[in-house]
Amino acid sequence: MFVQRGGGVFACLLVLLLPVLFPNLFSSPLGHASPSVFSEWNAPKPRHLPLLKGALQRPSSYGWQSNPWSPLPDQGWKSCKSSVTPVLPRKSRGYVQVFLDGGLNQQRMGICDAVAVAKILNATLVIPHLEVNPVWQDSSSFTEIFDVDHFINVLKDEISIVKELPKEYSWSTREYYATAIRATRIKTAPVHASAKWYLENVSPVLQSYGIAAIAPFSHRLAFDNLSMDIQRLRCKVNFQALAFVHHVNELGDDIISRLRYPSAKSAAVDKTYLQMTTDQKAIQEPLKFVVLHLRFDKDMAAHSACDFGGGKAEKLALAKYRQVIWQGRVLNSQFTDEELRNQGRCPLTPEEIGLLLAALGFDNSTRLYLASHKVYGGEARISSLRNLFPLMEDKKSLVSKEKRAKIEGKASLLAALDYYVSMQSDIFISASPGNMHNALVGHRTFENLKTIRPNMALLGQLFLNKSMGWSEFQKAVQEGHKNRQGQIRLRKEKQSIYTYPAPACMCQAL
């Protein structure tokens, strides 16, 4: 766009900003592949150069703004103390088995729902089977991701859970159901089925065979019209029973220590810290950090049908991808880029997220942890963000290859690690709505932690206005995000209890 509107101006600015925009030409602190400006003419260029210039010159104090790091005030909501003593059904009515699709965060919701359904049926739950997702390709099992003993133990007074079926039912496997129609498989659970549906349709199967295998199971339990006990049980699973395996937590703690105490260079940061005297600890205040979940992959870019500034080559590549994957049938493709941006339907690019964070008052000393899989367009796409936030880290920059070996290439374990780190951050922000965003919004709401939800429609409109200066942009952004930082939003009908845990799973402190 810039090139068309004023190639000359762009060229001059580019030359002036070259060392700033492409510092990685000369050094690559994170060890990412450095793109060469000269070999990648199609590399995505900054699209909001005047704003980027303004942001790069932003002062390093907050000035008239409020401190962006200030934690959320107490909002009067707490996790509920259970008033009723949980009751384990006297006799299990059989075994419930589920097979869960999707990535880690979708499976997480499926696990919570499976516990609830087993409870509704007074059945014994078999540890859920996690399907291999065609996109993420991770075959890790429940036990390889979650601490299974903790899971069973936290829920032991409410529901019985077994790691494996007893011998007499060992025939009930995924392969068994894949090869023929079977009487013990429940295939017809409607999306958001009621408790009544399960009692009417699954109880008889349990009665006859002692086992019921429910597949598909994702999104198969309603969010409304369930007893308070069942809703609280779902939250207990999500927020208490599901903990990751030890080595994920350990890697996560390692990352967090490095973000909070960057000067303690030793491999054993924890030990160094533990050996310090109280006085030393007081001197070395833990630093704060932001986790940015940046899902900006080709799939998402193509699906949104927006223009991301990569020029003709990128447009063609994304159009081709849409054709191959969805036969070109992408709802958004009937709209122009401008229409989509006005409606807030374009995922924010790394550059745009950087401008948002800068406008909210985060200066260039902010420690930013990138939680993401891979970024479409590579390092070139991230360079503007990196210029705004030079202290940007990720798993690769903070954890040695040897330590990462156990989780390398395993999408679910990598996502688990990012989830763990995200839960410990001072600020969490996600560049696009999705399962990971929703899961963390819900969990952080439960813990009253600050979470910035980008106002996509507002930002879309602001970025379309090419005559807007930095200070106007900043004022509009701050105004538009005052109430998007983690304030409690009560769940409305049909909304997910995992994204909106209040009021069902949280109680108002008196």
Q: Which residues bind ligand NAG (CB under 6 A)?
A: 59-60, 89-90, 93, 121-122, 199, 203, 224-225, 364, 390, 465, 467-468, 472, 493-494
Q: Decide whether 42 or 203 has the Cβ nearer to ligand NAG.
A: 203
Residue 304: CB atoms within 10 A of its CB come to: 20
Are 450 and 291 a contacting pair, CB within 8 Å?
no
Question: C-beta of 91: minimal distance to ligand NAG in Å?
Answer: 8
Are 446 and 506 a contacting pair, CB within 8 Å?
yes
Question: C-beta of 364: minimal distance to ligand NAG in Å?
Answer: 4
| CA angle, residues 419, 422, 425, in degrees to nearest 5 | 160
Q: What is the dihedral of CA 361, 365, 370, 375, to 10 degrees?
A: 80
Q: Decide whether 138 or 158 has the Cβ nearer to ligand NAG.
A: 158
Measured CA to CA, the distance from residue 203 to residue 118 in angstroms comes to 10
Question: C-beta of 94: minimal distance to ligand NAG in Å?
Answer: 10
Question: C-beta of 52: minimal distance to ligand NAG in Å?
Answer: 14
Question: C-beta of 206: minimal distance to ligand NAG in Å?
Answer: 9
Q: Decide whether 173 or 203 has the Cβ nearer to ligand NAG.
A: 203
Q: Decide whether 100 or 462 has the Cβ nearer to ligand NAG.
A: 462
Question: C-beta of 194: minimal distance to ligand NAG in Å?
Answer: 7
Q: Decide whether 322 or 481 has the Cβ nearer to ligand NAG.
A: 481
DSSP states along 57-122:
T--SS-TTSPPTTPPPPP-SEEEPPP-SPP---SS---EEEEEE-SSHHHHHHHHHHHHHHHHHTT
Q: Decide whether 214 or 245 has the Cβ nearer to ligand NAG.
A: 214
Q: Decide whether 153 or 471 has the Cβ nearer to ligand NAG.
A: 471
Question: C-beta of 123: minimal distance to ligand NAG in Å?
Answer: 9
Measured CA to CA, the distance from residue 97 to residue 131 in angstroms comes to 13
| CA angle, residues 328, 329, 331, in degrees to nearest 5 | 125
Q: Decide whether 212 or 330 has the Cβ nearer to ligand NAG.
A: 212
Q: What is the dihedral of CA 395, 401, 403, 409, to 10 degrees?
A: 70
Q: Decide whether 201 or 364 has the Cβ nearer to ligand NAG.
A: 364
Task: Please classify residue 409 by burial: count the beta carbons closer than 10 Å to its beta carbon, then call 0-12 exposed, 13-18 middle and 19+ buried.
Answer: exposed
Are 294 and 431 a contacting pair, CB within 8 Å?
yes
Q: Decide whether 263 or 467 has the Cβ nearer to ligand NAG.
A: 467
Question: C-beta of 214: minimal distance to ligand NAG in Å?
Answer: 16
Tokens 């880029």 belong to which residue?
Answer: 337
What is the token pair recorded at 46?
A: 């900054």
Measured CA to CA, the distance from residue 86 to residue 83 in angstroms comes to 9
What is the token pair recorded at 351?
A: 């550059």
Question: C-beta of 461: minimal distance to ligand NAG in Å?
Answer: 7
Helix (H, G, I), strand (E, B) or coil at 161: strand
Question: C-beta of 467: minimal distance to ligand NAG in Å?
Answer: 5
Task: Please give the single-letter amino acid code of residue 77.
Answer: W
